[in-house]
Amino acid sequence: VQLQASGGGLVQAGASLRLSCAASGFNFYDYAIGWFRRAPGKEREGVSCINGHADGTYYADSVKGRFTISRDDAKNTVYLQMNNLEPEDTAVYYCAAARQYYYWVPTPQDMTYWGKGTKVTVSS
């Protein structure tokens, strides 16, 4: 099982980034994929989640209206489009998978597989 997040970088406030999470080694379409982040000095928190077969998307209040999660099951990839980035979005972003159906953004403890993170830095 492998999850690889990519697409991070250094941007100015108000800019956009698109993160990608490429997965392999499991039945991707049956799994919910979540994006999580860990800001400096803070606990890892859930950002967004998309259920298997794109049956439901969920967002943390802090990113609603700015971030959009999507998936391409043909490519085993989930995307996180991040618009109007703020300095508070600075963090290492991780993607994770779980064979569960969620009605809200899951906690890190809910997830089974994790990838290495990609760093996002937003300057003011």
The strand pairing partners of 102, in sequence order, are none
Nearest Cα residue to 81 out of 20, 3, 4, 11: 20
pLDDT at 54: 82
Mean pLDDT of 80-102: 97
Q: Are 124 and 10 in contact (CB under 8 A)?
A: no
SS3 116: strand
DSSP state of 75: T
Strands (DSSP E) along the chain, which ranges? Answer: 2-6, 9-12, 17-24, 32-38, 45-50, 57-59, 67-72, 77-82, 91-98, 113-114, 118-123
State the chain's mean pLDDT as an integer. 97
Q: Are 50 and 56 in contact (CB under 8 A)?
A: yes
Dist CA 43 CA 58 (whole Å): 20
pLDDT at 25: 95
Q: What percentage of the chain reaches a pLDDT higher than 90?
A: 98
Tell me the per-residue pLDDT of 1-23, one tens digit each, with 9 for 90 and over.
999 999 999 999 999 999 999 99
112 alpha-carbon distance from chain centroid: 14
pLDDT at 41: 94
pLDDT at 53: 87
Mean pLDDT of 75-94: 98
Where residue 30 falls among pLDDT bands split at 50, 70, 90?
Answer: very high
Tell me the per-residue pLDDT of 38-72, one tens digit each, with 9 for 90 and over.
999 999 999 999 999 888 999 999 999 999 999 99
